[in-house]
Amino acid sequence: MRVLGIDCGTERTGYGIIESDGRDHRLLSCGVIRTDPRTPLNQRLLKIGEGLRRMIHEHQPESAAVESVFYAVNARSALSLAHARGVALYTIAEAGIPLGEYSALEVKTSVVGYGRAEKRQVQYMVRSLLQLPEIIASEDASDAVAVAICHATHTARAFAEAVR
């Protein structure tokens, strides 16, 4: 199964595309869609949507996953994140791709085995699970790959339970 994972943000939206059977994962692509914080928000959201459309068109994922909304101390940050997340959800729906949503706790538990893991621990486990020669330098891209791994693992587990 080919999975697109997205780590939403208005300045940096991470993406990761993996091929997975639910146990073994292979990285196809990852990176960050960057926007300039001085650019009007509507133009930044447009750039994020265009970048995600390009990834979907290029890699043809069978499913996608994003982190669910979390409660932030800073309301302005939470609102910006919600805008970027809305663009990601819209772009996925527009492409007709099934969507999975996971809390940060679920993603970290699935990838690291500990729901309160630090970002660096997530980067190291993503490297280990994908058997990469080095960690993915961008935390945003690494987090997006972690979301994709979490989705692939949960999807395979749900399928196995349904077959029983």
pTM, full prediction: 0.94
Using the predicted structure, report yes or no on whether residue 59 has a pLDDT greater than 80. Answer: yes
Please pick, among 19, 58, 118, 140, the residue that the annotation labels catalytic. Answer: 140
The torsion of the CA quartet 122, 124, 125, 129, rounded to 10 degrees, works out to: 140
Q: Provide the CATH number for the domain around residue 83.
A: 3.30.420.10
Q: Is 62 among the residues known to form the active site? A: no
**Structural domain boundaries enclosing 48:** 2-163
Please pick, among 67, 94, 134, 161, the residue that the annotation labels catalytic. Answer: 67
Give residues with Cβ within 8 angstroms of 133, minimum separation 6: none
Task: Give dist(CA 83, CA 48) in Å, integer.
Answer: 11
Please pick, among 7, 11, 58, 62, the residue that the annotation labels catalytic. Answer: 7
pLDDT at 33: 98
Task: Give dist(CA 82, CA 11) in Å, integer.
Answer: 13
Domain count, the chain: 1
Using the predicted structure, report yes or no on whether residue 160 has a pLDDT greater than 90. Answer: no
Give the helix ranges, DSSP H, for 60-138: 75-94, 104-111, 119-130
Q: How confident is the model at residue 57 (pLDDT cuts 50, 70, 90)?
A: very high
- Return the minimum-mean-pLDDT range out of 19-23, 66-70, 107-111, 132-136: 66-70
Tell me the pLDDT tens digit for each residue of 78-124: 888 899 999 999 999 999 999 999 999 999 999 999 999 999 999 99
pLDDT at 111: 97
Average pLDDT, the chain: 94
Q: Is 143 among the residues known to form the active site? A: no
- Return the minimum-mean-pLDDT range out of 2-11, 62-71, 86-95, 131-140: 62-71
